[in-house]
A = this chain, B = another copy of it.
Amino acid sequence: MVSGTKIESGGGPIRYGMVGGGQGAFIGGVHRIAARIDGEFVLVAGALSSSPERAKASGAELGLDPERNYGSFQEMAKAEARRPDGIEAVAIVTPNHMHYPAAKAFLEAGIHVICDKPLTSTLADAKKLAALVEKSGKVFVLTHNYTGYPMIRQAREMIQKGQLGDIRVVQAEYPQDWLTEKAEDTGSKQAAWRVDPKQSGVGGSTGDIGTHAYNLARFVTGLELDSLSADLDAFVKGRLLDDNAHVMLRFKGGAKGMIWASQVAPGNENGLKLRVYGTKGGIEWVQADPNYLWFTPFGEPKRLITRGGAGAGPAAARVSRVPPGHPEGYLEGFATIYAEAARAIRAARKKNGKPAKDVVYPTVQDGVEGVAFVEACVKSSKKNAAWTKL
């Protein structure tokens, strides 16, 4: 039924290490599952916390070889670079402000990097990191995981093939509710660092989820931004970073868009939704029900394309694992980013090797643009929503 990702590879899996993701963290565990799903990666080293004690305790829990269970990422980068069986790649899953120094250390040690988003906590860091990546020649994969969903690949392919005609309107939103009250004051570690400018950067909801919405719109439509107008709020008293963002977009070529990101919208868990309308048709996709894509060609009945079902094309099929009607979810989409990373890293094992043309993942340039988006939102909002370029 589904050709899908080749599930296991004949060659050996990729040895990787992890920075961050120890006890009490959330996204590290997600990365580890994602890395395991297709059997392409094996975790052999870690510096799992900024606290050496917690790092070691976390690594022991995961069964890491004590020798490769490091107290700091600096130590890990050095030691692994020296080992003949050292890691080929590192996954960086720390709060935002640590992405840059950690990525720098591993790139300079000749190790490929898989990095959580947003890329960095400042645009300056982001640009420096992009330069480092280029200089290093290493693979750099940013885990804008929603780009791994099969029906997102499907939507992108349909737009590339012209099935929507010229794009006119993009509506993206990412509402959540978990910061409706002041969770950062009641012991949520997840909340605490996300609302702290020192760890997150200048964006709150814009950085945490707005970037996802923006990245997804860009990934699916291929449109480039001209400028944006943003009206940000921190509705919860005493919160320093935005928890609700209203953004109007003007794309080059005349298309228009809106983004709504919120962490204070009760009843929304991870309500990421993308709608795109062109001269010939529209598409609609909702993250919480990711196996469906509405396709609405103008003047014809609405069609519901299902992952793996009739009407789904090769771009979706190559990242699917199970037949239609058996839902794939968040972890599988995340795993697809890892699978694409694996293809890129395997290609890099060979001299002048390049991944196949259909291998697609978010790059450091996407990351720079994401941070630029956040900073532009903040800048615009401070100027009474003045139109601002990235």
Contacts and interface: CB of A to CB of B under 8 A. Distances in A.
Interface of A: 1, 7-12, 26, 29-30, 32-33, 36-39, 60-63, 168-169, 171, 173, 176-178, 180-181, 190, 229, 231, 233, 235, 244, 246, 248, 250, 254, 256-258, 260, 262, 264-271, 275, 277-282, 284, 287-291, 294-306, 308-311, 321-332, 384-385, 387
B330 A327 contact: yes
Contacts of A244: 168-169, 256
A277 B266 contact: yes
A195 to B, nearest CB: 16
Contact of A300 (B61, B254, B311, B387): B311
Given A168-B244, A269-B309, A231 B231 contact: no
Given A7-B33, A10-B62, A270-B326, 5 more contacts: A9-B63, A32-B39, A33-B321, A267-B302, A290-B327
Contacts of A280: 266
Contact of A250 (B7, B231, B331): B231
A267 B271 CA distance: 21
B304 A302 contact: yes
Contacts of A29: 7, 321
A130 B387 CA distance: 37
A22 to B, nearest CB: 12
Nearest to A177: B298
A265 B290 contact: no
A222 B76 CA distance: 52
Given A266-B296, A298-B177, A302-B304, A327 B289 contact: yes
B322 A30 contact: yes
A310 B321 contact: no
A281 to B, nearest CB: 5
A295 B301 contact: yes
A258 to B, nearest CB: 5
B63 A11 contact: yes
Contact of A7 (B32, B262, B298, B324): B32
5 contacts: A168-B244, A233-B256, A266-B281, A269-B306, A269-B323
A387 B383 CA distance: 12
A219 B140 CA distance: 46
Contacts of A281: 266-267
A8 B61 contact: yes
Contacts of A33: 7, 37-39, 321
Nearest to A33: B37
A31 to B, nearest CB: 11
Contacts of A288: 291, 325, 327
Contacts of A258: 246, 258, 260
A384 to B, nearest CB: 7
A266 B297 contact: yes
Interface centre among A178, A246, A323, A324 (most CB of B within 10 A): A246
Contacts of A322: 30, 329-331
A301 B331 CA distance: 24
A385 B248 contact: yes
A36 B303 CA distance: 35
A331 B323 contact: no
